[in-house]
Structure 1
Amino acid sequence: MKTSISTLRHARTAYNQEKRYAGSIDIPLSEQGRLEAEEVAPKLRGIAFDAVVTSQLRRAQETARLIAPAGVPILRTRLCNERTFGIMEGLTWDDVQTLDPPVLMISVGGDLHTVNPRNGEPFEQVWVRARKFRSYLFRRFEGRKVLVVSHGVFLQMFHGVLRGSTCIESLAVYPANLELRRFDFSGDALAKEAVVRLGEVKEVAW
């Protein structure tokens, strides 16, 4: 049985433009983000999705409403909410560098990733949610085509789960806003991955 899971990171927000950590802060799309989502929508509407699944956060839900084909149901679940960044939420990258005690960081994929922000969600917990989300999707949509509209760090973890990578390995690739990835499964095995940017489709090495 063939199952197709596509993922899309939400459109831009003011926090994206200001390089602030949003996490669980429920911010809306920016005007620029709404315009970009509306621009992408006609291309995505040419894909026959059976359902769209979003997080419970406004920026993902707004994106889903702007790009979902007419008549396709939109479902919400906290399983694909963004990572909670704790004390870092609302701060810029420069602000985070001044925190005391400092936040531990690791380098993966040529980028730094914050490991232990106070009151934040560890990567391992996001990884567990991503695994539960995979089970949820296969339970409800096996043999169908589903689009997931979610967030940067969660999608890092979820993509890793779909590929069979480890939690830390999954941090190597961070999705851009409105970047669409498609994962095609034959039964439970990943058969193909493709990335779509504004209508351009190319195969991804994996």
Structure 2
Amino acid sequence: MSNDQSKTPKVKTIYLIRHGETDFNRQGIVQGSGVDSDLNELGQAQAEAFYQKYQHILFDKVYTSALKRTHQSVKKFLEKGLPWEQHEGLNEISWGVREGKVPNDIDNEYYKILIDGWINGKVDLPSEGGESPQDVLTRQKPVIDLIISRSDEETILVAMHGRAIRIILTLLLERELHEMDSFEHANLCLYKLTYDYEQGKFSVELENDLSHLDDLIVE
């Protein structure tokens, strides 16, 4: 019995990152899950900087969304031959009909009203033609359950998206969904979390950490 217990780690460590910068990010254009954009030059440099800082970590697996900006953000890790899975459940929220459009004053007001509604508890309110935070949480949960069930994967790297990270952190840290905007994020930021199997709880070691980007020169 003790041998069986020794095979199960007491703690799983998760390095959760947001993808690097895209031109859409720089221009303030909402991408959501419907715009499958590439990293720009800065985004690629951010990904390289993260790799240089954390290449020594022995990741058991890499998880990403199905969108290529997350794939490109962990490209160097994948080139090492690490096991990799992509899950649509980790995709960014769908912002619906306004994805990929340069926002005008009307759009900006729309987003403000929508997000204010979410903050005030209307988390089942979807964007026009898109998803609600509750919709996103519903598709994220099976992926998290799968990751937790794989107790042999002691250290993993997960690449996702800004709003999706805010949503998933409420699930992992047992916070109310309407509190999601309390979690800050930036391109190629790192949240380092641990999951205690005995307690069945996540905790945060690093939050929106950008120290790996300190040496980047931003024009």
TM-score past 0.5 threshold: yes
TM-score by length of 2: 0.79
Q: Distance in 2 between matches of 1:160 and 1:129?
A: 14
Quick check: 2:49–2:212 contact (8 Å CA) kept in 1?
Answer: no
Match in the other structure for 1:128: 138
Name the SS of the counterpart of 2:74 in structure 1: helix
Contiguous gaps of at least 5 residues in structure 2: 1-9, 214-219
Match of 1:146 in 2: 156
**Is the contact made by 1:4 and 1:183 (CA closer than 8 Å) also made in structure 2?**
yes
Report how far residue 103 of structure 1 moved: 5.6
SS in 2 for 1:118: coil
The CA RMSD over aligned residues, in Å, is 2.5
1:131 Cα offset (Å): 2.1
Identity %: 24
Instruction: Tell me, in whole angstroms, the C-alpha distance in 2 between the residues paired with 1:69 and 1:192.
Output: 28
1:136-160 CA-partner distances (Å, limit 9, x unpaired): 2112345511110010011111111
Which shows bigger deviation, 60-69 or 168-177? 60-69
What is the rounded CA distance, in whole Å, between the counterparts of 2:45 and 2:97 in structure 1?
31
AA aligned to 1:47 is: I
2:79 aligned with 1:66, yes or no? no
Unaligned runs of 5+ in 1: 201-206
Is residue 8 of structure 1 aligned with residue 20 of structure 2?
no
Alpha carbons 1:41, 1:68 under 8 Å: kept: no
The structure with the greater share of residues assigned to strand is 1
- Aligned partners of 1:59, 1:152: CA distance in 2, in Å? 12
Matches of 1:98 and 1:191, distance apart in 2: 35
Contact 2:173/2:201 (<8 A) preserved: no
1:97 corresponds to: 108
Residues 192 and 30 from structure 1, CA distance in 2 versus in 1: closer, same or farther, beyond 3 angstroms?
A: closer
Letter in 1 for 2:15: S
In 2, distance between residues paired with 1:191 and 1:90? 35
Amino acid at match of 2:49: E
Please say which of residues 66-75 and 81-90 is displaced more in the overlay: 66-75
Distance 1:159 1:105 in 2: 17
Larger radius of gyration between Structure 1 and Structure 2: 2
Check whether the contact 2:173–2:203 (CA below 8 A) recurs between aligned residues.
no
Answer 1 or 2: which has greater helix percent. 2
**Residue 51 of structure 1: aligned partner:** 61
Q: Structure 1 residues 39 and 104, CA, compared in 2 at 3 Å: closer, same or farther?
A: closer
Map of 2:31 onto structure 1: 22
Contact 1:2/1:143 (<8 A) preserved: no
The letter for the 1-side match of 2:17 is: L
Deviation at 1:133, TM superposition (A): 2.2
Query: SS of the counterpart of 2:94?
Result: coil
Contact 2:60 2:154 in 1 (8 A): yes
Q: Matched residue of 2:159: which SS? A: strand
Q: 2:13 touches 2:195 (CA, 8 Å); kept in 1? A: yes
Q: Does structure 2 conserve the Cα–Cα contact (< 8 Å) formed by 1:83 and 1:121?
A: yes
1:185–1:192 CA contact under 8 A, matched in 2: no
Query: CA offset at residue 92 of structure 1?
Result: 3.5
Partner residue, 1:193: 205
1:155-194 matches, within 5 Å, as 155-187=165-197, 188-194=200-206
State the 4+ residue runs in structure 1 displaced beyond 4 angstroms.
none
